[in-house]
Amino acid sequence: LGYRLLLELFSFDRPVIAAVSGHSIALGLFVTCSADYRIAIDGKYLCQANEVRNNMDIPPQIMEILKARVNKKYFYPAVFHADAYSVQDSIEVGYIDEVVSKDIFMKRVIEKAKELATLPHPFYANTKKSAHDDVRQKILKAIEKYENLADLK
């Protein structure tokens, strides 16, 4: 169900904003990366896909989201080496779009939500589908394979 939730967030036909109010690690990072726009509070917070460091692999259904979001220059250190990045550095990595101070955080999140809400429907949805449909199909295929394996047990 968690994988399907990530797919729904990633595929949602209206803009999804992640309000990142602290660390964004493991599943929290994948939720962040599933959003269309990510705003983080400025502070000593980290973004990290820490699975490899914790003796876990990153399954294809999540890897596709990372491949769609992470800057190619940072892909190996961020994903394979499980490097942690400050929220400020996470902008260049591709995890975060904007970092703001705590005192204006929710104001900025709401402001951005209102701005993106003005994008016309269905044109936003059609454009997003066109840009991400191949990724969405790969994620769905991986989820279905995972569910079929679970049914065999």
Confidence of residue 1 (pLDDT cuts 50, 70, 90): confident
Distance CA 60, CA 67 (A): 10
DSSP readout, 111-131? HHHHHHHTSPTTHHHHHHHHH
Give the residue carrying structure tokens 């429907």.
121
- List pLDDT tens digits, range 129-149: 999 999 999 999 999 988 887
Q: In this model, does residue 150 exceed pLDDT 90?
A: no
